[in-house]
Chains A and B, each alone.
Chain A
Amino acid sequence: MIQKAYSDLLAGVPDSDDRLYRLLWPQLLRQATPFLAHTDIDPVDVVQDSLISLLAYFRNSSDLADCRVAAYASVVVRNRCRDVLRRKRAKLVVRFDKIAGTLKSSLKDPLEELVALENSEWLNEAILALPQSCRTILKELYYRGRTVRELAETMKLNSVQVLYYRRNQCLKKLKRNFKKSGASESIDILGAGTTAHLFKNREKE
């Protein structure tokens, strides 16, 4: 029934989105409730937000005809629950009262200043734990500002895609190291979960 409602949505049948919403609702609520059981977060809100973004996504995704909608929606809801939990945890771990006196006074938000300070240290540790090849790639691309094409030529690679792939692998390793350093909540503070500003930057370029 869910797949039928989804097909109808793709075909533009009226009220199909409402039907899909109602069909997915109980299943997704069952997914979210145990996740948020020991918190004061209402799973209904999380499921509702997830369904709204999902339906908007499905409407614009005609290329997802063979998508297993229920499984797809479950992952989205679980991720949103994780996101909410991480943000909640990130807020709890910052004992601002303890460190307020030691922060440099500036016009910046002290919390931002603290997070920036911690992130710099963790990033430094994470980079040093990377293999030399990864450090070279990151240094050339981000610090020296070389383009992927230039670096691929220097490294005598046949295609830039290889370098994109390697860079991605290095970033994954870096992220693992970064989280190991204690920065598991910091990525959330940086703004994971929202991509709007990335597209704005892209439009400017």
Chain B
Amino acid sequence: MSLLEFECVDPKIGEQMHLFDDESLDPDLRDQLERHLAVCHACSEGVHFESFVAGRLASPRGAGFFRKPTTSLPGYLAMTAVLAAILLLFLLPPGYGTGWLTDDREGLRGGDEREFMIIRPLEGEVLYRWRGDLRWTPVVNTSFYNIHVEWRSETSSEGATWRDQVRTCQVSLPDSLMREGAFLAIVKPYPEGLVPAGERAVGFRRGSLLPFLAYRIKHPPLASLALLALSLGVGTAMFYRRRI
């Protein structure tokens, strides 16, 4: 019992307080109960509480007290936005624009000259279950592209090299290279001299789930980040509004 909890001054009478509303109650007992209420804070509190409950439940909105409070539309939207932001975090390309989270602000796509660059993978990217797709921007008047890929195992001294020539702006690496480890991909358009620096190179890794998740959290796509911030903002505002 809390220090501020009232005590019934006469529990023998207090125990009969539930009969207070009974119309057929003996008048003497009713009189006794009424007099008891005048001095007993504990029973008086109970009677007041009952009248408060009765008043609230008898109101037109009384049925609402028996229903679980439903989450409002902004609440649902905020929850959906959080889920979407988490999903986008892993589905969208990593946020090369969110340089404030990374040390490597430039050269993520093999160079800072935007007219020719490797679109995916990005420099330093960690890929999970990568299917070997390499993509770059097209260069006008190019006859073909020379592709050079080096793979090196991170656990042993094993390594491999693969070369190809393609006319399109993407290539799929052979299955023999689909292993965990570090990659270096170089794309060189032919004839030479069509682009200033001549070739573009990116280094990336194919790894397990954990390094992939760590990389994605460190390099969140901007859209995902914005959505997450917005939904958290709405959620926080709703939480404080509800508390007030």
CA distance A194 to B39 in the complex (A): 9
Complex interface: chain B residues within 8 A of A78 (CB): 7
Residues of A with C-beta under 8 A to B2: 184
A195 lies within 8 A of B44 (CB): yes
1/0 per position for B59-89, CB-CB distance to A under 8 A?
0001111101100000000000000000000
> Contact check: which of A57, A127, A168, A178 meets B18 at CB < 8 Å?
A168
The yes or no answer to B41 lying at the interface (CB within 8 A) is yes
Selected from A60, A86, A128, A198, the residue in CB contact (under 8 A) with B51 is A198
CB contacts (< 8 Å) of B24 on chain A: these are: 160
- Across-interface contacts of A67 in B (CB, < 8 A): 10
Q: Does B5 reach chain A (CB closer than 8 Å)?
A: yes
Which residues of B are at the interface with A, using a C-beta cutoff of 8 A?
A: 2-10, 17-19, 21-22, 24, 32, 34-35, 37-42, 44-54, 56-58, 62-66, 68-69, 241, 244
Q: Specify the chain A residue showing the minimal Cβ separation from B7.
A: A75
Question: Quick one: given A57-B35, A57-B39, A198-B51, are A124 and B44 in contact (CB under 8 Å)?
Answer: no
State which of A85, A135, A165, A171 has its C-beta within 8 Å of the C-beta of B53: A171
B48 to chain A, nearest CB (A): 5
Known contacts A72-B10, A75-B9, A143-B66, A120 near B39 by CB under 8 Å = no
Q: A53 and B53 in contact (CB under 8 A), knowing A148-B21, A161-B22, A164-B22?
A: no
CB of B47 within 8 A of CB of A195, answer: yes
Tell whether A4 is near chain B: CB-to-CB under 8 Å: no
Q: A82-B4, A142-B58, A171-B53 are in contact. List 9 more A-B contacts (CB 8 A).
A: A60-B35, A79-B41, A138-B57, A142-B53, A142-B54, A142-B62, A174-B49, A192-B48, A195-B38
Residue of A nearest to B5 (CB): A82
Q: Verify if A63 is at the interface (C-beta below 8 Å from B).
A: yes
User: Across chains A and B, which 9 residue pairs bring their CB atoms closest together, nearest first?
Assistant: A168-B18, A142-B57, A79-B41, A192-B45, A143-B62, A75-B9, A192-B48, A195-B37, A143-B57
Shortest C-beta distance, B167 to chain A (Å), equals 65
Report the separation of the CA atoms of residues A87 and B48 in the bound assembly, to the nearest whole angstrom: 15
What secondary structure prevails in chain B residues at the interface with A?
A: helix
Return chain B residues, CB-CB under 8 Å to A168. Answer: 17-18, 46
Which DSSP category, helix, strand, loop or mixed, fits chain A's interface?
helix
List which A142-180 residues lie within 8 A (CB) of chain B. 142-143, 145, 148, 160-161, 164-165, 167-168, 171-172, 174-175, 178
What number of A residues sit within 8 Å (CB to CB) of B? 57
**Per-position 1/0 for A71-97, Cβ under 8 A of B:** 010011011101101100100000000
Structural contact, A86 and B4, CB atoms closer than 8 A: yes
CB pair A53–B54 under 8 Å, yes or no, is no
B45 to A193, Cβ gap below 8 A? yes
Interface residues of A (CB under 8 A from B): 53-54, 57, 60-61, 63, 67, 72, 75-76, 78-80, 82-83, 85-86, 89, 98-99, 102, 119-121, 123-124, 127-128, 135, 138-139, 141-143, 145, 148, 160-161, 164-165, 167-168, 171-172, 174-175, 178, 184, 187, 190-195, 198-199
- Contact indicator B49/A120 (Cβ below 8 Å): no
> Of B8, B38, B49, which contacts A171 at CB under 8 A?
B49
For A172, list chain B residues within 8 Å (CB).
Answer: 46
The complex places the Cα of A84 from the Cα of B32 at a distance, in Å, of 26
Minimal beta-carbon separation of B101 from chain A (angstroms): 36
Residues of A within 8 A of B3 (CB): 82
Identify which of B32, B42, B56 gathers the most chain A CB atoms within 10 Å of its CB: B56
